[in-house]
Structure 1
Amino acid sequence: MTEPRYDVIAIGNAIVDVMATCDDELIDELDLAKGGMQLVDADRARELYDAMGRATEVSGGSAANTLAGMAALGAQCAFVGQVADDQLGEIFSHDIRAVGIDFDTAPRDGDPPTARCLIFVTPDGERTMNTFLGASQFLPAAALDDELIASAGILYLEGYLWDPEEPRSAMRRAIEVARQNGRKVAFTASESFVIDRHGDDFRALIEEGQIDILFVNEHELASLTGLAAFEEGLASLAGRIPVLVATRSAKGAVGIAEGVRAEVPAEPVDQVVDTTGAGDLFAAGFLTGHARGEPLERCLRMGAICAAEIIGHIGARSQKDLKQLVAEKLG
């Protein structure tokens, strides 16, 4: 097996995040589920955008956020995702390349436009996300380059993108290519509603041994296993997945790898400003450590450090030097 060119290649939604602060009254007025994520159509996306105050636009998407964190830590990464040939597509492409991630997926002509996530951030730091998937849900299997997939040590898949048929087929193909070339497959469940819709698929992938690294939070773990008790849920998956990582927000995170368990507390934060991207950046720290062969507990600590940095400010891209931050805290 040849040495990988990339540490991680990710397939995910190519989304531009549009973020604005607001008060709780606006959340109620717009009939939004505070702290959650919902899919919206083009008309609802326009309605919500019009209701926003001053906003910041930056390329986002769960897997893309993870790669941005990994690149900041010095990892070599590539991204596969679909944008449209429009202004937001140009913003996404520029932003992701500017942080050192290779991105060569050709833009798609015509409608629908590039995906966007309208994020309302309340004073307590909670983010309410409203996602119009647009062009991102039309990523075809033909957009995949088998040699590119085979050139990465880890293939990282975003659960959000499992919903539409075209990218789901593309990700199944990518899994085949990665397995044929002896590469690892990492998967993030993304959100409980995704598991509610496609849990049978995810459970089948686990049973077939197609997933090497699984990221879930405690709510997703319960949805995936059908077990409300956290420890029971862990026990039901441990041993069926080589590396299982479960995050618990302020309660820290647990990892189980080949029968070895480690736990870390959440890193202290002066103030929680915006929780957008916390799970994405946790995965960034963990995967970077894992790609370097670091011990399980150190990988979890790296994830916790990155997650703590991201919730201290608006947006899902780091504002501090993550490499320096990890070095200061871990040595």
Structure 2
Amino acid sequence: MTSAAYDVVAIGNAIVDILSQSTDDFITAEGMTKGSMQLIFDPAEADALYSRMGPGQEVSGGSAANTIAGLAALGQPCAFIGQTADDQLGQVFAHDIQSLGVHFATPPATGGEPTGRCLILITPDGQRTMNTFLGAAQNLPESALDQRTLEAGRILYLEGYLWNAEHSRAAMKRAIAIARAAGRKVALTLSDTFVVEAHRDAFFALIDAGELDLLFANDNEVRAMMQTDDIGAAVKALAARVPVLVCTHGADGAEAHAGDEHARVPAEPVAKVVDTTGAGDLFAAGFLAGQAQGRDLETSLRMGAICAAECISHIGPRPQADIKALVEARLRG
């Protein structure tokens, strides 16, 4: 196995987030489920919702892309593969991720659907309700995969949201094959309960075939995978099936299992929860950075918790503080 140029190569949705302050009444009136993510399939519907929202702030997003942004801020070399369109939002996304020092060379698509966007409504309690038009992101073709980049990543990190579309699902399967042939590890984040409900059997097929080395999930996703409300039993059962399981519990912290090894940490204190968008993504960034640095499970979990706490202290899914310095200071203290 050749040396790795990147600690993590991620495949995910290349989208731009549009964040807006909202109220519970607006979310109810729009028929949304607070704190969830729903897909928008018609660009006209996305435009209509945007017109009804309050003033918005544009920030490049996408779950795996946010994780990669966090890893880059922590000083880890990484790369991202995701499909944009040849339009203004696509240029914004490419500029933002490349400016972080991330290798991103996926050619933009011409014709077809525009670059994806996620309309995020943030209520006063910091909860985010997401409405995602995937656009070009879901049409990532196998031909857009760069084999050399995939072979050069120590870990291939896959975003569960992309499993929903036929083109991107095929691309991810091909990426797994390339990474495996190169002797690399593969990680998957389950992304959302609706993703689990739609693809539970496919995810277990990957697990049982030994294709996954690391699984990220929150407690609701673990419950959905194991089809039980008993979170303790669900975590135990799922952990027995994957080499490494990382489960986040929101304000109740996070835990990780690797064979007989188990660690759990509390959530880091935050003066005020402003926006929970990207919290899980930045947690994954901290944990993966810890693993890349050879840290143990508990320290890696702490790094994830520190990064997530920074994320929820401001609007937007990407770090605004120097999280590398923050993590070093918190670990020392």
**TM-score strictly above 0.5:** yes
Whole-Å Cα distance in 2 between the matches of residues 73 and 317 of structure 1?
A: 12
Cα offset for 1:200?
0.7
State how far apart, in whole Å, the 1-side matches of 2:223 and 2:26 are.
31
Give the deviation of 1:292 after TM superposition. Answer: 1.4
Partner of 2:154: 153
Counterpart CA distance in 1 for 2:91 and 2:178 is 29
Work out the CA distance in 1 between the residues paired with 2:5 and 2:59: 27
The offset of 1:179, in angstroms, is: 0.8
Match of 2:30 in 1: 30
**AA at the equivalent of 1:170:** A
Assess if the C-alpha contact under 8 Å between 1:209 and 1:240 holds in 2: no
Secondary structure at the counterpart of residue 232 of structure 1:
helix
1:100 is paired with a residue whose SS is coil
Please report how far the alpha carbon of residue 239 of structure 1 lies from its aligned counterpart in structure 2 after TM superposition: 3.1
Contact 2:12/2:159, CA 8 A, preserved across alignment: yes
4+ long deviations beyond 2 Å: none
SS in 2 for 1:102: coil
What is the letter of the counterpart of residue 226 of structure 1?
A: Q
AA at the equivalent of 1:121: I
**Deviation of the 1:149 alpha carbon:** 0.4
* Equivalent residue number for residue 290 of structure 2: 289
C-alpha distance in 2 between matches for 1:235 and 1:23: 38
User: How much does 1:111 deviate?
Assistant: 2.4
State the identity %: 56
Q: TM-score, normalised by structure 2?
A: 0.98
Q: 1:101-143 deviations in whole A, cap 9, x for unaligned?
A: 1100000011210000000101110101000010001100011
Q: Deviations over 1:175-211 (max 9, x none)?
A: 1111111110010000000011111100111111111
Further displaced range: 233-242 or 270-279:
233-242
Comparing 71-80 with 25-34, which one deviates more in the overlay?
A: 25-34
Whether 2:2 is the aligned partner of 1:2: answer: yes
CA offset at residue 238 of structure 1? 2.1
Over the aligned positions, Cα root-mean-square deviation in angstroms equals 0.8
Q: Which amino acid aligns with 1:11?
A: I
Separation of aligned partners in 1, 2:240 and 2:220: 20
Shift of 1:43: 2.2
Render the CA deviation track for 1:227-274: whole Å, top value 9, x for unaligned. Answer: 221111112122321110000000000100121000000000101100
Instruction: Answer whether contact 2:222 2:238 (CA < 8 A) is retained.
Output: no
The answer on whether the counterparts of 2:66 and 2:281 sit within 8 Å (CA) in structure 1 is yes
Find the aligned partners of 1:126 and 1:145 in 2 and give their Cα distance. Answer: 37
Q: Report if aligned partners of 1:275, 1:311 keep a CA contact under 8 Å in 2.
A: yes
**Counterpart Cα distance in 1 of 2:204 and 2:14:** 26
What is the CA–CA distance in structure 2 between the aligned matches of 1:259 and 1:148, rounded to whole Å?
Answer: 33
Cα deviation 1:278-312 (Å, max 9, x = unaligned): 00000000001111111000000000000000001
Structure 1 residue 324: deviation in Å?
0.4
Aligned residues: 331
CA contact (8 A) 1:239 1:259 kept: no
Is residue 108 of structure 2 the alignment partner of residue 95 of structure 1? Answer: no
Q: Which stretch has the larger CA shift, 304-313 or 23-32?
A: 23-32
Distance 1:185 1:21 in 2: 36
1:70, distance to aligned residue in structure 2 (A): 0.4
Is the Cα contact below 8 Å between 2:13 and 2:162 reproduced in 1?
Answer: yes
Letter of the structure 2 residue corresponding to residue 12 of structure 1 = G
Give the structure-1-normalised TM-score: 0.99
Aligned to 2:254: 253
Aligned to 1:116: 117
In the alignment, residue 150 of structure 1 is paired with which amino acid?
E
2:263 alignment partner in structure 1: 262
Could you tell me which residue of structure 2 aligns to residue 238 of structure 1? 239
Q: Which amino acid aligns with 1:205?
A: L
SS in 1 for 2:79: strand
Aligned twin of 2:56: 55
1:16-42 C-alpha deviation (Å, 9 max, x unpaired): 000010122211222221111000121
Unpaired segments ≥5 residues, structure 2: none
Q: Determine the C-alpha separation between the residues in 2 that align with 1:272 and 1:222.
A: 25
Residue 277 of structure 1 contacts residue 316 of structure 1 at CA under 8 Å; is this kept in 2? yes
The answer to whether structure 1 residue 130 and structure 2 residue 131 are counterparts is yes
2-structure distance, mates of 1:91, 1:238: 39
Counterparts of 1:162-311 in structure 2, within 5 Å, are 162-311=163-312
Give the aligned residue type for 2:145: L
* Distance in 2 of aligned mates of 1:71 and 1:295: 20
